[in-house]
Amino acid sequence: MKRFVNAIKCRTFRRILTIILLTVGVSSCEHKPLCLHHPHNGMLRVDFAWWDAPEGEDLVKSMALYVYPHDETINKKRIDFVGTSGGIIELPIGNYNFLCLNSDTETLQYEGTDNHNSFAVYTREAHPLSGMEVRSSENDFDLSDSYENIKRAEGTETERVSREAEDAYGHAIENVYVHGEEGVMQVVTLYPKNLTVHIHVVLEDVGCMETVQKISGTLSGLSGKVKVADASRIGEHNIVPFSLLQTAEHTIEGHFIAFGHCPGDIEKFHKLAVYVVTEDDDHLFFEFDVSDQIEKARDQRYITLFVKGLDICGMRDMGVVVDPWLGIPPIIVPMD
């Protein structure tokens, strides 16, 4: 009888001990939920502060955050946000560099994206006369072939011709430590700056405006690329084509966006070239040196160039049938 009672007591003790151990185990997991979910991650709120480019907060539709971990075992990544405010992200604990850039553009190209310091934007090559929006046809001259022989302003023959840019806003910060402390939301703030320049061209007192069928322009000596991290202009000098439209009886205007120029570059000059096709199918070329206006512009973010006295009737057909701007010496119309 005594052995039977002892056996029952042993079984009862084992059951009680099992229940206690299970209860402790469950309680441990209930009090430490992070032990089962990303124990080495931290939560960050990414904010974009538009103090340096307030207009961008209304213009930009989406932003991209490029994440560069110092730890090479952690993958680089791009995180997209709708709007201009930012959002909450989760990253492994460690040191990071961050770069932001608006992602709502269509024509911008990227290079050097493996590192935040080398990340740059540029645009693709373009035709010098792309501002005319001329297309090949039976009744028009053909622009489908190489444009290397199209007439250019003197001294700009070797410059790359690139498409105009779009408004770009970016910034980068370095050495941000994600600590992953439980219950703490870190805040990372980036300050997007405008990486581009708006250029407004005004041709005043234009003669024989009624004879113009097509007209466009180009501007030389502009930067080919811009670094996102510090907004520095890099790359070779570029020519950017743009459209021109009549805005008054004797006024023609154009507007385009570029990556600006490199102030202090004494070896560079800026030539404004104007290409005209008249109703009589005369192909005319004019060039102006506007370097002084660009270098001395008070607002280097919005530059306006003025040229007066362009007389379209004062010139006649300058070229051959195949290429109207091939091998013709430049005709310079002096500025007033």
pLDDT tens digits along 205-229: 999 999 999 999 999 999 999 999 9
Mean pLDDT of 34-42: 59
Tokens of 269: 């000059």
- pTM comes to 0.78
**pLDDT exceeds 50 at position 238:** yes
Most confident of the ranges 16-20, 147-151, 292-296: 292-296
Of 288, 230, 229, 224, the closest CA to residue 262 belongs to 224
Mean pLDDT taken over the chain: 82
d(CA 57, CA 61): 8
Class of domain 41-314: mainly beta
**pLDDT exceeds 90 at position 71:** yes
Q: Could you give phi then psi for residue 138, rounded to 5 degrees?
A: -70, -25
Contact by Cβ (8 Å): 65, 113: no
Mean pLDDT of 148-171: 90
| Neighbour-count burial of 318, counting CB atoms closer than 10 A to its CB (0-12 exposed, 13-18 middle, 19+ buried) | middle
